[in-house]
Amino acid sequence: MRKLTITSMIFIVLVFGFSLGYATELAVWSSPDNADALFELAQNFMQAHPEIQIEVTPLSWEVLYPRILQDITAGVGAFDVTTWDLMTAGAIAPGMLDLEAFAQEHPDLVDPDFDDDDFIPTARYIYGYWGDKRIGQPFYGAAMFFFYRQDLFQDKALQEKFQAQYGRELRVPETWQEAKEVAQFFTKKFNPDSPTEYGIGLMFPRTHTLFYMFLNFFGPYRRSPEGIEKFGEVDLDWGDLFTADHQPAFNSEEGVKAIQDMIDLLPYSSDPLGSDYGETLEAFSKGMVAMVPQWTACMASWQESPDLQPFEEKVGIAIMPGKAPVSGGWGVGINAFSKNQEAAFQFIQYATSKEGDKIQWLKYRVGPTRKSVIEDPEVIADAPWLKDVYLPSLEGASHRPRIPEEPRVEDVLVGTISEILLGQAPNSIETLNLVAEEWKKVLSK
Amino acid sequence: MMNSKKRKRTGFLLILPLLILFLGLTIYPLIYMIYMSFHQYSLASWEEPRFIGWENYREILRDRTASSSVSFTLFLLFTAVPLEILLGIGIAFLIRDVWGERALRSSLIIPMTIPPVVAGIAWKMLYNYEFGPINYFLSLFGLPKVSWLGSQFFARLGVLLIDVWQWTPFIFLVIYAGLQSIPRDVVEASLVDGASGWSAMRYIELPLLRPLIWVTLIIRVIDVLKLFDIVYMVTFGGPGSATHSYSFYIYKVGISFGWDVGYASALSVILLLVVTVLTNLLIRFLRLSETLGL
């Protein structure tokens, strides 16, 4: 009995002592693609701030957004810090801490070297603001890129054959029109001598993937001088699918053309309607596909692929045809109901500092959001394309709506585009008008 | 007299925790769901719930995705359930008294024991267009690859196959257990009287199994109306709206769309009504209350 009492007391002292040793415990929620980087940044931060304990919890994309929304609406404060997808900005904004107001109230916590102007302007807004409210710091910069088999594009015999067949030189496509010819050339069904089975890896499943893929095709029309004249400048909160005065823009000749570009490419892709991220990643990884629009997160897997070695010689990265790739990416912000806002502020300040931004790119391929990191000699040596491809892609990107109704309007458009691609609905302005009407109904609620 | 009162009070106190749990976890959410179904309330809009009368219900009638999800759910109801029942009964009779019956019995129920989410991941790999084993085996017979997840017909067939694969074992297990409980002497007496094996099955065993068959039918009907996990894991409702099940659509509205609590509640109330009415109709139509002594 005595032994038991002593053991229990030691246990209690240890547990309490341990918890008293750390004044603050931060709960950090993260999407899986940000989690590894955040984990290392948290370790670094805890070394400098031993009084703060950080626990990073990865939550899948499908789970994270509803959980954030649930928590901030109920005002629970189950998390202190979270990464948030740029599309969810409008929905979560009321429950996130205004970082600019907080910094003004706590000037002693602001790192004098933080350098807010160092962020790429587009990134600073889309991963940082909703309207005038600063709801986060830019964490994961992303736009879709056009990955291609560099070795095939540089192959002399293939270049000559392409020249003979299409009357122009073989080059990485700069428009979707060019992409159709190149994709056809690299598809075995249409060119038995093609070294790859398919010309392009497309992912058009009935998920949010189709929504952002559509923007890769609609963006070039929307952002052309004619598009700007017709629809007005893009409002970064409402995105490229809306006009400047917040009316749907896709129910137009440009929307039909964009979908037609998608339809035209279907024969050169492997099962586009049944493929998503994993399938296209795998097909390119196995050397079956010559070109694929994808996110940078794929690179880590491709760099290990035996069929793509040596990686630097075999894989090239270009700006998406049409030069208006869809943006992605994440901000990191603080729960307005967090009880540890000061510690949380210090942590996200470190995580998005120049040092943090560099670490997350070099070790975890989390896209940088700071100009100084893209110009850093070590980063340039590691990925020279960041300056020529990444930066212009992010700056010229087309954007999804960030309004609270985004998931609902997304589903309506995705359902219809999927039906058009299946051939169940005609690709016409009338079809898209029905979607626009649905959107207006959702927005008017 | 006092004893009886005391016993009643003790009995009430004993069931009180369960009663509180039942009221808190079932009755309150049910009433709240019905209440919210008459409100406009979405967590993403950050507005207080607003009473809108029957508007959510009227919206369901106009909602194209809701109607296509009803159509797919009905498709499953009229294909998967009969197939599962026929196959389940057939297998239960066929494996009786065959060599290796025990091993067969154990292996046949494996699909039912796999969590639907895991089964969904496995089937998604099996259906993979380029690297999936199903298309590989088809190619061995000179057949072209099938876009299992990219064509409306095959995506629906794909979900149907998974449901049949996973839940036929349940029917089999119940019917097989029922068969074991039928007294052998009844069947043997009929055989002695000159009945064939088929006649014994048709006129003795099947009628005795009828209550079990009806019960499994009701359970499967309710399950199919609630089908969510396989759709979520394998097709995500696509392509188009081909495989949107009704429950999957409720999930999308209620959670994916940013907690549209009002509309999702209305959709859920409809599902609840359909399940309740259908189950009661089945019980009445099949005279289950008499057969089961309810």
Sequence-distant (≥ 6) Cβ neighbours of residue A265 within 8 angstroms: A176, A179, A180, A183, A200, A202, A272
Angle at B212 between CA B209 and CA B218, to 5 degrees: 140
Chain A residues in contact with B255 by the CB 8 A cut-off are: 66
Residue (of A140, A213, A276) closest to A410 by Cα position: A213
Query: Residue B179 and residue A187: Cα distance in Å, rounded?
Result: 57
Chain B residues in contact with A407 by the CB 8 A cut-off are: 44, 256-258
Residue (of B172, B169, B154) closest to B119 by Cα position: B169
Does residue B205 sit within a domain?
yes
Place of tokens 């009755």: B27
E-assigned strand segments in B32-148 = 39-40, 50-51
Does residue B42 sit within a domain?
no
For A363-375, letters b (16+ CB in 10 Å) and e give ebbbbbbbbebbe
Does residue B7 sit within a domain?
no
Helices (H), ranges, A291-423: 299-303, 311-314, 341-351, 354-364, 371-374, 377-382, 385, 391-395, 406-422
Give me the count of residues in chain A: 445
Contact B255 A424 (CB under 8 A): no
- Identify the DSSP state of A367: P
Chain A residues in contact with B155 by the CB 8 A cut-off are: 274
Does residue B59 sit within a domain?
yes
In chain B, the number of structural domains is: 1
Find out whether A211 and A413 touch, Cβ atoms under 8 Å: yes
Find out whether A207 and B149 touch, Cβ atoms under 8 Å: no
Mutate to test the interface with A, among B39, B45, B46 (most CBs of A within 10 A): B46
Chain B residues in contact with A445 by the CB 8 A cut-off are: 40, 42, 45
Whether residue A310 is preceded by a cis peptide bond, meaning omega within 30 degrees of 0, is: yes
Residue of chain B minimizing CA distance to A416: B240
Residue of chain B minimizing CA distance to A404: B44
Residue (of B157, B164, B155) closest to B242 by Cα position: B155
What pLDDT is stored for residue A2 in this prediction?
A: 56
What pLDDT is stored for residue A398 in this prediction?
A: 97
Give me the count of residues in chain B: 294
Residue (of A241, A237, A259) closest to A249 by Cα position: A241
In this structure, is the dihedral angle defined by the CA atoms of residues A333, A339, A345 and A347, taken in order, positive or negative?
Answer: negative
A315-318, strands of its sheet edge to edge:
A198-200, A289-294, A145-149, A315-318
Q: How many CA atoms lie within 13 A of B152 on its CB side?
A: 15
ipTM, two decimals: 0.82
Which residue ranges form the domains of chain A, and what is each CATH number? 20-142+328-395 (3.40.190.10), 145-327 (3.40.190.10)
Residue of chain B minimizing CA distance to A284: B130
Query: Residue B83 and residue B76: Cα distance in Å, rounded?
Result: 10
Q: Does B233 touch chain A (CB under 8 A)?
A: no
User: How would residue B2 be classed by pLDDT, with cut points 50, 70 and 90?
Assistant: low
Nearest residue, CB atoms, B129 vs list A69, A274, A408: A274
> Chunked in runs of 10, what are the mean pLDDT values of chain A (445 residues)?
56 52 83 93 96 95 89 93 95 96 96 96 96 96 97 97 96 97 98 97 95 98 97 96 97 98 97 93 96 91 93 95 96 97 97 96 92 95 92 95 92 95 96 96 87
Chain A residues in contact with B149 by the CB 8 A cut-off are: 205, 271, 273-274
Does residue B185 sit within a domain?
yes
Does residue B17 sit within a domain?
no
Range(s) of the domain holding residue B240: 52-111+161-291
Contact A65 B258 (CB under 8 A): yes
Q: Does B29 touch chain A (CB under 8 A)?
A: no
What pLDDT is stored for residue B188 in this prediction?
A: 87
What pLDDT is stored for residue A438 in this prediction?
A: 92
Does residue B152 sit within a domain?
no
- Lowest-confidence range among A21-25, A165-169, B40-44, B51-55? A21-25
Nearest residue, CB atoms, B255 vs list A66, A419, A421: A66
Does residue B142 sit within a domain?
no
Place of tokens 């014994």: B200
Checking if the pLDDT of B245 tops 90, the result is yes
What pLDDT is stored for residue B186 in this prediction?
A: 87
What pLDDT is stored for residue B193 in this prediction?
A: 87
The CATH number for B254's domain is 1.10.3720.10
User: How would residue B291 be classed by pLDDT, with cut points 50, 70 and 90?
Assistant: low
Distance from CA of A74 to the nearest CA of B (A): 9
